[in-house]
Amino acid sequence: MKGKIKIGITHGDINGIGYEIIFKTLADNRMLDFCTPVIYGSSKVAAYHRKTLNIANFSLNNIKEANEAHPKRVNIINCVDDEVRVELGKATKDGGTAAYMAIEKATNDLKDGNIDALVTAPIHKKNIQSDEFSFPGHTEYLEQKFSDNGSLMLLISDIMKVGVVTGHIPVTQVSNAINTDKIVDKLRILNHSLKNDFTIRKPKIAVLGLNPHAGDNGLIGKEEIDVIIPAIEKAKSLGIMALGPYPADGFFGSNNLSKFDAVLAMYHDQGLIPFKTLSFSNGVNFTAGLPVVRTSPDHGTAFEIAGQDKADPESFRQALYQAIDIYKSRNNNAEISKRPLRSYDISKMDDKLDVELPKEEPKQEDEA
C-alpha cells in the first residue's frame, strides 16, 4: 500500500456546524499522522467560522488541486464563489449551492483517484435541491455517480451495524417499496461489506420484520410471509447467513443484538432510532456497496447551535477514522486475494504433529 491516506472532506451546509466539527477534529495535530486532509469548501467561509468560534492557532493550506496537498498540513480547495453569504442557522439558497459545489468537486476527485476516501459534513436536504442535485441525500447521489449495482446506507458504531432496505422515503411508501429482490440485494451488499470492509469472515445478519411482532404469522400484515421470509431463504441459498424476520421492538430490547454482526432494517426510522439512541455521539454513516469509500457523521446540520461552539465533533472524528480503516481493509483484502495459494506435500511434513486429525465416525444404519 502507498503512503499516508488522502481524505477529502466536504464542508457541508455553510450555515450549519460543518466547519465547527471539522476544525475541532483536525485541530488535534495527531490526525495528520493518520491521513492528509483536503477540505473542499471555501477559505473565506472557513475564516468566518473560525472567527465566530474564536478558534486560534489553526491555519489552512490553500491549494488548487488535491495533488498539491501538503502531507503535514490541513489543506483546503476553494470550490465556492467568494461572494457567498453565510447566515448561521438558516437554510438558504447560498448554503445549498455551496454544499453542492463542494460535493461535486470532491466526488470528481474521488472518481479520478486524486483522493482516497471521502468524509462528508452534513447538508440540508431541501435547500441543496436543484437541477444538478435532485436526490434525497448523499447516499442516493453517490449511488447514481459510482454504482450500477446499488448501495446500502449502513450506520456503524462499536455497538452495532444497522443497514436499511429503504432510505429517505415517506413511511406511506415503505411497504410498496419493499420486495424480495430488493431485500436480497441489500443483504448481498451488507454481507460483502462486512467481509471486505470490516474483515468479518462469516457474517451473521439479523433481518427485521416490517410489521409489529413481525406480522404475527400474517395476523398483522402479510409482508413477512410474502416478501421477507422468501428473501431470507433466497439469501441463504446464496451462502449469506441471514436469520429472521425478528420483531424490531423485541430484537433491540433483548440481548439478540450481541449475537449478530449486523442488522438489516426495513425502513429508515426502524433502524436509525435504536442506533442513534445507543450510538448518537459516535455513530457513523457509511455508504456500503460503492467502489469508493464514503463516510459521514450520523447527525444533521444542527442549525440551532451553529456558531455557538456547542457542536460535539466525536461523530465526525469517528467518520474520519472509519474512512481510514475501511480504505485500509479493502486494500489489505485486495492484496491477500492477489497472493497465490501455497501448496504443501503432506508426505514431506514432520510426522510429529502436535495436532491429530479427527477420525471419521462410522455411519449408523437407519432403523427399519
Write the CB contacts of 238 (distance below 8 Å, at least 6 apart in sequence): 184, 188
User: Does one domain contain both 238 and 136?
Assistant: no
Q: Of 251, 283, 315, at which residue does a domain stop?
A: 283
> Do 8 and 25 reside in the same domain of the chain?
yes
Q: Does residue 118 belong to any structural domain of this protein?
A: yes
Q: Are 142 and 71 in the same domain?
A: yes
Helix axes 18-26 and 314-338, enclosed angle (nearest 10) = 70
Q: Output the CA torsion sign for 94, 97, 99, 102.
A: negative
348 φ/ψ angles, rounded to the nearest 5 degrees: -95, 0
Burial of 335 (0-12, 13-18, 19+ CB in 10 A): exposed
Domain-embedded: residue 349: no
Any bridge partners for residue 262, and if so which? 205
Residue-wise pLDDT for 279-313, tens only, equals: 888 999 999 999 999 999 999 999 999 999 999 99
Q: Are residues 155 and 141 in the same domain?
A: no
For the residues 16-41, what does the mean pLDDT come to?
96
Q: Is 359 helix (H, G, I), strand (E, B) or coil?
A: coil
Residue 344 lies in a domain: no
Q: Among residues 215, 249, 283, which one ends one of the domains?
A: 283
d(CA 61, CA 75): 5
Asked whether residue 179 is domain-assigned, the answer is: yes
Range of the domain at 31: 1-147+290-333
Q: What is the pLDDT of residue 14?
A: 97
Rounded Cα distance, 286 and 298, in Å: 9
DSSP letter for each residue of 260-288: -SEEEESSHHHHHHHHHHHHTTT-EEEEE
The verdict on 4 and 124 lying in the same domain is yes
Q: Are 123 and 13 in contact (CB under 8 A)?
A: yes
Closest CA to 79 of 95, 60, 115, 103: 103
Answer yes or no: are the C-beta atoms of 228 and 190 closer than 8 Å: no
Assess whether pLDDT exceeds 50 at residue 319.
yes
- Cα(233)–Cα(211) distance, integer angstroms: 19
Q: Verify that 124 and 82 share a domain, yes or no.
A: yes
Whether residue 351 lies inside any domain: the answer is no
Q: Looking at residues 227-250, what average pLDDT do you find? A: 97
pLDDT, mean of residues 237-251: 96
Which of residues 266, 283, 300 is at a domain's end?
A: 283
Domain-located, residue 338: no
Q: Is the domain of 27 the same as that of 64?
A: yes
User: pLDDT per residue over 134-150, tens digit each?
Assistant: 998 899 999 999 988 89
User: 196: number of CA atoms within 13 Å, CB side?
Assistant: 18
Query: Rounded to an integer, what distance in angstroms lies between the CA atom of residue 110 and that of residue 86?
Result: 27
For residue 250, how many C-alpha atoms fall within 13 Å in the half-sphere facing its CB? 14
C-alpha cell at 270: 426502524
Residues 253 and 174 placed together within one structural domain of the fold:
yes
What CATH number is associated with residue 199?
3.40.718.10
Region 177-197: mean pLDDT is 97
Query: Do 240 and 264 belong to one domain?
Result: yes
pLDDT at position 344 over 60: no
Looking at the domain assignment, is residue 361 inside a domain? no
Q: Is the peptide bond before 203 cis (omega within 30 degrees of 0)?
A: no
- CA separation for the pair 154, 321 (Å, rounded): 16
Range scoring the smallest mean pLDDT among 254-258, 301-305, 321-325: 254-258
Question: Distance between CA 109 and CA 68 in Å, rounded?
Answer: 13
- Residues 32-64: tens digit of each pLDDT: 999 999 999 999 999 999 999 999 889 999 999
pLDDT band at 342 (very low <50, low <70, confident <90, very high): low
The answer to whether residue 365 is domain-embedded is no
> For the chain, what is the domain count?
2
Q: Rounded mean pLDDT of 333-349?
A: 62
Q: Are residues 228 and 193 in the same domain?
A: yes
Same domain? 49 vs 89: yes
Same domain, 154 and 142: no
Question: First vs last Cα of the chain: how many Å apart?
Answer: 63
